[in-house]
Amino acid sequence: MDFNLSEERSLLSATTDRFLQSAASAQKIIKGGGENLANDAGFWQEASELGLIEALLPVDAGGLGGDGLDLALIFELLGKHLVNAPFLSTAILGAMPLWLQDTQKFAALLSDVGAGKVKLALAISEADSRYDIQFAATEAKPVDTENYQLSGHKAVVLGAGDADQLVVSAKMAEGNGDIGLFLVDGKAQGLKIRSYQTIDAQLAGDIWLEDVQAVCISEKGSDILSQTAAAGALCLSAEAVGLMDVMKDATIEYVKTRKQFGRSIGSFQVIQHRLVDLLMEIEQTRSATMLAAAHLFSKPDMRDKHISAAKNLAGRIGKLVAEETIQLHGGIAMCWETDIAHYAKRLTMIDHYLGDSDYHLKQMMRLSA
């Protein structure tokens, strides 16, 4: 099998890499402290002008790519440069339900998303939902054929505080046994958002809805949610690979220069063995992520099995890489002023978005039975 990138993807990778390197995202996190790091209007506009947002959307939705390999390629680079921007919440989780349902109906909104004019967020998590994306206590009451009123509470919604539009899941009041998806204006009457920053510097928020006016995207949104969650998990897995690569390289460089007992600690065999183990585990995660990317739009069972395999490894190996990297760096790896500390935070928290390693292990066992 040929794993080399096509000419177009090679150009996309090189251009994106240079652009993200110039953004110096890690340094902005270090210097920014408690500021709203995810809301950098200048960076977001530059990313849209470069076509980086459109590369995450399919051609039918006014984008330039949207394939599983495109998503994996870009998010691995986002991880490499520790980019703190709403690519996942807007271009993937928020936009995918719209173009999966009806690209023509939401063409204008998707065009604004690709141009960087509109940010989206997907509100599916609730206090009692755990990682079940099909769970919804939030209720939708019909007003007419397209308009509804939503009431309920959503928790830890990525990008909620900065979103112009929210895609919200809710159970239908008439009880058709499925989950509905609805589009809510970010400034709608009856909508309350409490924004905060997560431990890995992401912008998130809890939202409360009280008879909030909403436009129906789909009255039967279960399949759309499953596909969207699969794409989100793939992106997180690819981002984890990018993070792990940087942490591994930084650790190798550090053990070459750190001296103990008159020798660099990298010359000790036990350290070399630990680094070789890390390298093997990271490559295993990369391979699983590439396979998942190739099956992103396959049949649901095949898709979910490969996605869960990649996400399970990303969570399990990510924790190992974070722990080993911090231990081998010593106390300096715990300092706010070092890049590696923030990479470790992001890598650790990726496991908790869209299902942790235990959840996806159970999914793999169920789908393989």
For 138-156, write each residue's pLDDT tens digit.
998 888 877 899 999 999 9
Q: What is the predicted pLDDT for the residue at 35?
A: 55
The structural domains of the chain, with segments of one domain joined by +, span 7-114, 120-220, 224-368
For the 120-220 domain, the top CATH level (class) is mainly beta
Pick the CATH number of 7-114 from 1.10.287.130, 1.10.10.10, 1.10.540.10, 1.10.1330.10: 1.10.540.10
Reduced 3-state DSSP string for the chain: CCCCCCHHHHHHHHHHHHHHHHHCHHHHHHHHCCCCCCCCHHHHHHHHHHCCCHHHCEHHHCCCECCHHHHHHHHHHHHHCCCCCCHHHHHHHHCHHHHHHCCCCCHHHHHHHHCCCCCEEEECCCCCCCCCCCCCCCEEEECCCCEEEEEEEEEEEECHHHCCEEEEEEEECCCCCCEEEEEEECCCCCEEEEEEECCCCCEEEEEEEEEEEEEEEECCCHHHHHHHHHHHHHHHHHHHHHHHHHHHHHHHHHHHHCEECCEEHHHCHHHHHHHHHHHHHHHHHHHHHHHHHHCCCCCHHHHHHHHHHHHHHHHHHHHHHHHHHHHHHHHHHHCCCCHHHHHHHHHHHHCCCCCCHHHHHHHHHHHHC
Q: What is the predicted pLDDT for the residue at 118?
A: 93
* Common-topology check for domains 7-114 and 224-368: no
Q: What are the residue ranges in the chain where pLDDT is below 50?
A: 1
Q: What is the predicted pLDDT for the residue at 230?
A: 95
Q: What is the predicted pLDDT for the residue at 197?
A: 87
Q: What is the predicted pLDDT for the residue at 229?
A: 95
* 92-101 confidence digits (pLDDT tens): 999 999 999 9
Q: What is the predicted pLDDT for the residue at 209?
A: 93
Q: What is the predicted pLDDT for the residue at 270?
A: 78
Q: Does domain 224-368 have CATH number 3.90.660.10?
A: no
Q: What is the predicted pLDDT for the residue at 97?
A: 94
Q: What is the predicted pLDDT for the residue at 219?
A: 87
- Rounded Cα distance between 115 and 52, Å, is 10
Contacts of 340 (CB under 8 A, 6+ apart): 247, 250, 251, 325, 326, 329, 333
CA 134 to chain centre: 19
